[in-house]
Structure 1
Amino acid sequence: MKGIDPMRRAVEETTSTAFLEVQALYHIVNLIGSAVHLDTALASMLKVLHDTLRMERATLALLDETGSQLTIRASYGLSVEEEQRGVYGLNEGIYGQVFSTGSPFVVPDVHSEPLFLNRTGARTRISKATLSFIGVPVILAGVTVGVLSVDRLFGQDISFEEDVRFLTVLATLIAQFLSLNRAIRQDREQLVLENLSLKEKLHGRYHRHQIIGQSKAMQEVYWSIERVAPSLATVLLLGESGTGKELVARAVHDASPRKNEAFIKVNCAALPENLLESELFGHEKGAFTGAAVTRIGRFEQADRGTIFLDEIGELPLLLQAKLLRVLQEQQFERLGSSRTQTVDVRIIAATNVSLERAVALGAFRNDLYYRLNVVPIHLPPLRGRREDIPLLLDHFLRSSNKRNEKNLRMSREFLDFLTDYDWPGNVRELQNLVERLVILATNEVLRVEDLPEYLVRPESGRIPPAMETVVPLAVPSPPPASRKSLRDLEREQVESALIRNGWVQSRAARELGLTQRQMGYRMKKFDLQRPDY
């Protein structure tokens, strides 16, 4: 424009350029602040150079993983094929010059510069006489890690100082962004490692079957599960009430080839005899009063899967015969039907009473017992795995806190007291106690004085709530006429341990804290022999 002072024009152009540079930096900083993916964010930054500062194309070349060459990590104005061709040695061409010296490099006319390689082939579409190139180093913690470059359509009389200054600032921002991304990636990798470490710890704490416990007794149970699960063998779970037999049954099923099929559970003591047969085997319409429709039983529901028969010792003798047939032939008839049903079912049974004693009393069929007792797994009582009690307490307290929206903790004395307690109701009693304490708690810390009286003062004679419904299958012995001798008490203790452990001497010895040789001596001393039926 005529009449305008050249100095004023220069000032206005400088002001306009500065404004555009600030605007570009504003957009780039926003991109860094909201970045989710590194490469996408870098490409968006380079696009800002074109949109705001009218630079033709831009590239960011970084050291590759080997540290032996520069490769284009992000670009604007290049195709994927052109990017892939952009590979440079550390001392090769202009990129190598900028990288090795750590200083900017300006090419006013790429046509006359022998160091300009045009390896990507992206500049053939523009006259080289009008094309300029600017490259600046990307420096992180004093070490050059890459090169930022742009192309400009310039005349020979244009000064490049402003562009070099701006691109150096941008290269510094990119270096910090790379550093931040690297730190995030390292943190993420650390979190992954910590997660794996936690999973390993949980593997020891919960094992692979989501059963809590890492004691030697529970390791034996886990070993048995792993060995028996792949087979088709019938499993008999032995142990006191509340020791977690259903969890073990589920673990056997989940670790078996049938894991994707049905897992059906039936409590044989929960239904009266006249309904239990229909529950197990189903019935036809009109088979009895109230049978308005045909109903399939639990065995049919478990076809190709697993059926868990809990408290099998409570099964009536008539149904024991039918169950024996299912075990032997995988066949049965529904109530009111003469049609034979064939199923493919794996049976897992459980009992908290001595089936051997039940056989001796005539309450359980001898042949069924031996059919069920193919692979027995004994679940230890909680008092036999005291090292697991703190783990169980922690698990139940966390779960109950979450359900009841509380944040209770345990005192050291509280934990020690419950670890030393004998737990006649086993894990179920422990779980119920924790739930009750959390619900009734008025303080943030559970203490010994918060425990019910029957735990703190067992001589009070009160039956703990968790044990009120436990009725063993045994004929009660008459009360002694006089105090028993120490020999009689010792004999009863040894015999009871043998019965609880299915007459497996090693397990009974472990429960009593004896060696196997000491157990053998006591069996001989008291003339204790496994019943032969």
Structure 2
Amino acid sequence: MYLIDIHKWNSSCVKQDMNPDTRDLKLHVLSSICEIIAHLPDLENILLEVLRIMSDNLSMKRATVTLLDRKTGMLFITASHGLTPEEMRRGVYRLDEGVTGRIFQTGKPYAVPDIRKEPLFLNKTQSRTLEKQHLTFIGVPITLQGIPIGVLNVDRLFGDHVSTQEDIEFLQVVAVLIAQFVSLNEQFQNLRAENASLRYKVSKGTDGPYIVGRSSAMQEVQRQIQRVAPTKATVLLQGESGTGKTLIGRIIHDLSERKKFPFIKVNCASIPENLLESELFGFEKGAFTGAMAAKPGKFEEADNGSIFLDEIGELPLGLQAKLLRFIQEKEFERLGSNKTRRVDVRILAATNKDLEALSNQGAFRPDLFYRLNVFPIHTPALRERKEDIEGLLIHFLRKVSREYNREIHFSIDALELLKAHDWPGNVREMENLIERLVILSEQDRIQPELIEPFLGSRPSTRTDSPSASGTAQAVDKPALLREMEKREIIAALGRNGWVQARAAKELGLSQRQMGYKISKFDLDAMVSVQRVRSRKNKS
């Protein structure tokens, strides 16, 4: 179904005694533009396709669609033909600036017969060499329900053999179509946002991934998630370690239309620099010593899905350039190959560093930062959302109790002790501690005596300038927790003749969980030796 009455418009052209060839050409272009709405999912691609159709069929060499950003009150080039990405980025206008601003404010078309002689023509994109070219520039407003929302600017459409007025009239029809595309896109985005909100609520009721927290900080995070999840926008998650950035990345993926496709996680800090490129982009057979067969990279594995780049601030500068190219063009080459590959991947990045500060220092590419920072989300530390601590403690206790098939609760004093703790390791520290407490508790109610060795005799107090001893305590605490858990596992095995099944039963673990703990603490050799000794002693 056409968005305008093409047949009525065609009849009007006949009455005006328009040249049949020109009329047929216009009809073909408008019909092609109307048909793309059924095939393209987002506004930017629709606008790019509109301009491509006009370029392929008309004499147009260059064109821009500039739309109003309601948040900033500025006009930005949303789509272009004949402009480079850098030229597009320069196309930002105040509402009273240049030809574009005049067209937007007056709501009337404007034609510039020769851009070299027009003081209002600013050439902000620097895409036209004014001193050498004689160019006609035409712009028409894009209006929705009588209100300007943008401007469509082009060079000549039909060449000098057709009047400028015909160009303007035809552009006005195209602008009507663009306005309708914008309106339909807004409605579609609103529906997708509502759908994401409903899916998030369903997830909370079915033990799917969701955020625990009623604080204003986390309510804002949830609103941002529901807003950005249905889109294709790159998201940058910023916050301290342990604040749940990976969980938020997963939720964004699950609430998007990419849910049925892979969610691939890559920790940029945990992979050696010399291996990271091949890990991300893949390699061909013989690309380096040991490359016995070709292997696709993480971007190929994530095709049609999402890739979560954790600790993006650790990405080497050389790879930053390749990632920037991938974000801009969706293209890359495997290591050892000249073949260009394309994949459709949404990028979700996370960092606990200030990337803007790093870019100012030359440690991170500013252009990559701007590409990643399309939709930033700040993940608050627990000290910024203290009202969520009790809910999180109970949530993790229930979760871990189910995993270990135990019915266990906090005593009132134990809960108060945990609520008063500073949680420098944030949510990750909390979840790990709760799991240890469930393993170590011999009763169905966790008491303060069990908790105190992990937290110290009293709650820690966080300051902006911690003492050296306080810093050492915070650094050593994870190691202390791990060592205590390891000692408890060894003690339980010793009490049960180094038989894993018996030790697991004593601790309330399944045999699989016990096997995991033994592997985690690298106790396999010790268990084997001690079991042999135990048998010899019995004989």
Per the normalisation by structure 1, the TM-score is 0.48
Query: Which of structures 1 and 2 has the bigger CA Rg?
Result: 1
